[in-house]
Amino acid sequence: MIREQAVDKRTPKTIRHDADLIVVGGGLSGVCCAITAARAGTRVVLVQDRPVLGGNSSSEVRLWVLGATSHMGNNNRWAREGGVIDELLVENLYRNPEGNPLIFDTILLEKVILEPNITLLLNTAVYEVEKLGEKISGIKAFCSQNSTAYELVAPLFCDASGDGIVGFQSGAAFRMGAESREEFGEKFAPTAEYGELLGHSLYFYTKDTGRPVRFVPPAYALDDITKIPRYKRFNAQEYGCQLWWIEYGGRLDTVHDTETIKWELWKVVYGVWNYIKNSGQFPEAETMTLEWVGQIPGKRESRRFEGDYMLTQQDVVEQRTHPDAVAFGGWSIDLHPADGIFSEKPGCNQWHSKGIYQIPYRCLYSHNVPNLFIAGRIISASHVAFGSSRVMATGAHVAQAVGMAAALCTQNQLLPRDLTEPTRMQELQQELLKAGQHIPGFVLQDSTDLTQQAKLSASSEFVLNELPADGPLLPLTSSAAQMLPLPIGSIPQLTAFVTADQDTTLTVELRRSSKPFNHTPDVTLETLTIPLRKGKQDINLPFKSQLSEPQYVFVTFIKNEHIQLQYSQLRVTGVLSVFNKINPAVSNYGKQEPSEDIGVDTFEFWCPERRPAGHNIALRIQTGIRLFSPTNVRNGIQRPTNQPNAWVAKADDVNPTLTLSWPTRQKINRVELRFDTDFDHPLETVIMTHPETVGPFCVQEYVVCNDQQERIYHQTHNHQTSNTIRFDQPIETSSLTIHLKKSTSPGQADFAPASLMEIRCYRE
Ligand SMILES: Cc1cc2nc3c(=O)[nH]c(=O)nc-3n(C[C@H](O)[C@H](O)[C@H](O)COP(=O)(O)OP(=O)(O)OC[C@H]3O[C@@H](n4cnc5c(N)ncnc54)[C@H](O)[C@@H]3O)c2cc1C
């Protein structure tokens, strides 16, 4: 028994943790920062004030994780973020294609607790910052569940808390609201009437119980639905993220008024459900009930901290380059009216760029608190640029750069700003690329990688001379284009296969992107007008253009309702078809065309369709396209960009094999392999279900053999992009052979020839 005498006062139990890096906030940015840093050898404490990880993506809030892929609704091809965030999303696809938010929670928790370098404090809120001079010396936190106070001490801190609790208390310069047009020359800067802050949202889920269910609204529910100008948009089918526009608070203080905002959102949510259940307009809702209502509002915007650089609209739209680029973004600039659900205006105003844009490192630390990194939605960006950088996969990708930077600072006893020195920056960028981060325009150059000196030979090399005419025949009701990667030089002779229901004319355009690394077909090189007779026919496409740079061309079939276009079953790494359709979820109405000069581009959207649709357009390609060489596995780029950047075996190769050989025996104790998990796919975490648990391009089984043809590693259930093979004792061999095994065969649905994006080998 414990019995204590009465005393004047007691202090809570206090535990002190010393670490290299304290990460505050366990949203996706905090999680990806902590894991990246921990894997690079940094001792991390991750402090999260809620019971699970994920922030807005957790089961408490239930937002789908998005980034540059933008629901596959803009022209950013192969743009899913790499590194830890990719690992999490690919794992979620594997375990949770149904999009259950609880499963995503378990994945985040598992990945964090499996890192021996991370100390995780859940239900623990940071409430105080201590400083020594300009630097933060420690922070204080309290866990109400175990009634314990924590003193967290480290040389480096990362604020990934969304509202910037550490930045705020440590005196870091910040902004809240919107910059004027004049400050950075941003033409899309909003007026005060539109509003300067994005509000919070609360979601709800519903379910059909199969029997009538009553709903008696709580007294605080909104009683008059017509107070919501757009109330007629509500229906009994939409829930969760689909109702993102239940937004409120953009005219209030989105930090300190959060509880007020939450009550207003609850009022709206229960008022909306009352309308759906009891207005008599939705008989289909008779058997439906509320399954879940959010209790923690999803916060979109509050403080943005000032770094040595502020990302602006022009960085996003013009895709400006930066020597210290460490991550990328690609979501549209997406601003909302401050009146949110009570506004007459559309719920959002989204404008896309023609491709992904670089995010510089100088946006990721405070300019006046020397040991403070900033990550997530609070990075140094103007309100307009924040409109794009704020989404979770982008925030996570940026935070991985912070995690790696913290590791380099720890190893070399540096402060965040010290890494802007060019040699240090190069080291940071190279370490990030090794960890799977994609930095547009940057290539991994690793002299310690033994693959660079190896002779590479493959059992076969795919030549794109045919996308066989064995897929569906589909009406050309929307314009469709086949993307083909090409080297410098002439366009191969192409033959397509069509059926016309009457004599008509087919227009085929050859297009390319004005910037070779983009996939916006904004330059038309030539146009063919081809008379068709009624019936099935092969059509030759004798393009005469020359390419002066390696890039994708778009063989573009302009819509004609009298024509059906033949598609192919064959899927190939780095080869895609795209369509000029609409996707209202991301303000894609086929073409982006601002009615006034708001500093964004006019261009068309050409986007892929999701599997099981989205077949390639059947083509015969004379001379064939030879861009799938084994040497691609060491070209330093791990995804398709302006070229496929993959070794692809021939479709009929029954034992696809890649061999690395050296003139002398090598000692190897680590092999890194990167597979194609389809960086074009957004892998939304909730609501949107996915038809597969592993993408068709990903090799699931492979065997690695030494120079005696002995099996030294066998993987049977791969679904991940990145595979690291470690040997306890270095193997000695003059060759490594990787046998890839495919589970589907040519002609089967979703067959894709075996491919590999990268191999690296190390003696450590
Ligand atoms: C309704 C809505 C719709 C959106 N739509 C999308 C979308 O579709 N896809 C998308 O990717 N993004 C979307 N966003 C944007 C995105 O969710 C946020 O910008 C993003 O979550 C910010 O990431 P973060 O890690 O900075 O913050 P958060 O995700 O908010 O994570 C911060 C974490 O820090 C914790 N924390 C805060 N204070 C403390 C403290 N004192 N101590 C310890 N921990 C603390 C919080 O509990 C939280 O878990 C949307 C946002 C909203 C609100």
Q: How does pLDDT run across 592-640, given as a tens digit for each residue?
A: 999 999 999 999 999 999 999 999 999 999 999 999 999 999 999 999 9
> How, if at all, do strands 560-566 and 535-541 pair?
unpaired
Structure tokens of 122? Answer: 């859940």
pLDDT at residue 457 greater than cutoff 90? yes
551 has a pLDDT exceeding 90: yes
Spatial separation of the C-alpha atoms in residues 157 and 152, rounded to whole Å:
10
The answer to whether the CB of 384 is under 6 A from ligand 1 is: no
Q: Average of pLDDT values for 61-74?
A: 96
Q: What is the pLDDT of residue 752?
A: 94
Contact 392 CB / ligand 1 (< 6 Å)? yes
User: Is 747 a residue whose pLDDT tops 80?
Assistant: no
Averaged over 648-671, what is the pLDDT? 97
Mean pLDDT of 238-266: 96
pLDDT tens digits, 430-448: 999 999 999 999 999 999 9
Averaged over 358-370, what is the pLDDT? Answer: 98
For residue range 556-593, list pLDDT tens digits in order: 999 999 999 999 999 999 999 999 998 888 888 899 99
Give the lowest-confidence range in 104-108, 249-253, 746-750: 746-750
Mutate to test the pocket of ligand 1, among 84, 161, 299, 684 (most ligand atoms within 8 A of CB): 161
Verify whether ligand 1 is closer than 6 Å to residue 155 (CB atom). no
CATH for the stretch 473-566+576-615 = 2.60.120
CB 578 within 8 A of CB 428: no
275 lines ligand 1 (CB under 6 A): no
Distance from the CA of 299 to the center of ligand 1, in angstroms? 6
CA distance 679 to 76: 10
d(CA 21, ligand 1 centre) in Å: 21
Q: Which CATH class is domain 13-179+305-434?
A: alpha beta
Atom of ligand 1 nearest to the CA of 300: 53
Q: Is the CB of 471 under 6 A from ligand 1?
A: no
Whole-number Å distance, alpha carbon 452 to ligand 1 midpoint, is: 41
What is the interface pTM, i.e. ipTM, of the complex?
Answer: 0.99
Would you say the CB of residue 398 lies under 6 angstroms from ligand 1?
no
Atom number, ligand 1, closest to the C-alpha of residue 29: 25
Choose one of 63, 109, 374, 389 to mutate for the ligand 1 pocket test, by most ligand atoms within 8 angstroms of C-beta: 63
The arithmetic mean of pLDDT across residues 254-271, rounded, is 98
Identify the pLDDT of residue 89: 98
Nearest in space to 460 (alpha carbons), one of 739, 743, 723: 739
User: What is the distance in A from the centroid of ligand 1 to the CA of 376?
Assistant: 8
Nearest-atom number in ligand 1 for the CA of 375 is 26
In short, whether 121's Cβ falls inside 6 Å of ligand 1 is no
395 lines ligand 1 (CB under 6 A): yes
Distance (Å) from CA 54 to ligand 1 centroid? 8
Residue 378 Cα: closest atom of ligand 1 = 26
Domains 450-461+626-762 and 473-566+576-615 share a fold: yes
Q: Which amino acid is at 590?
A: G
Using one digit for the tens of pLDDT, what is the confidence trace for 693-739? 999 999 999 999 999 999 999 999 999 999 999 999 999 999 999 99
CA-nearest residue for atom 20, ligand 1, is: 392
- CA–CA distance, 651 with 654 (Å, rounded to integer): 8
* Contact between 47 and 22 (Cβ < 8 Å): yes
Q: Is the CB of 126 under 6 A from ligand 1?
A: yes
Handedness of CA 236, 241, 245, 248 (dihedral sign): positive
List the CATH code of the domain at 450-461+626-762: 2.60.120.260
Cα 23 to middle of ligand 1, angstroms:
15
Q: How far is the CA of 298 from the centre of ligand 1 (A)?
A: 6
Q: What is the mean pLDDT of residues 379-391?
A: 98
Given the CA of residue 299, which atom of ligand 1 is nearest to it? Answer: 53
For 188-238, write each residue's pLDDT tens digit: 999 999 999 999 999 999 999 999 999 999 999 999 999 999 999 999 999
What average pLDDT score do residues 142-160 get? 98
Residue 743 has pLDDT above 80, yes or no: no
749 pLDDT above the threshold of 90: no
User: In the prediction, which pLDDT does 585 show?
Assistant: 84
Pocket of ligand 1 contains residue 645 by CB under 6 Å: no
Q: What is the pLDDT of residue 742?
A: 83
List the beta strands (DSSP E) in 494-559. 494-500, 504-512, 523-532, 535-541, 546-547, 551-557
Q: Residue 480: which pLDDT band, with cuts at 50, 70 and 90?
A: very high
CB 338 within 8 A of CB 250: yes
245 lines ligand 1 (CB under 6 A): no
Distance 55 CA to ligand 1 centre (A): 5
CA of 337 to the centre of ligand 1 (A): 19
CB burial of 671-698 (b: ≥16 within 10 Å; e: otherwise) equals: bbbbbbbbbbbbbbbbbbebebebbbbb
CA 57 / ligand 1 centre spacing (Å): 7
Q: What value does the mean pLDDT of the chain take?
A: 97
Q: State what percent of residues in the chain have pLDDT above 90.
A: 97
State in Å: Cα 162 to ligand 1 middle.
6
pLDDT of residue 587: 87
Domain boundaries, the chain: 13-179+305-434, 200-293, 450-461+626-762, 473-566+576-615
- Identify the pLDDT of residue 180: 97
**pLDDT for res 586:** 87
Instruction: Give tens-digit pLDDT for 692-706.
Output: 999 999 999 999 999
- Say if residue 408's pLDDT is above 90: yes
Q: How far, in Å, is the centroid of ligand 1 from the Cα of 61? A: 9
**Can you read off the two tokens belonging to residue 421?**
């020195």
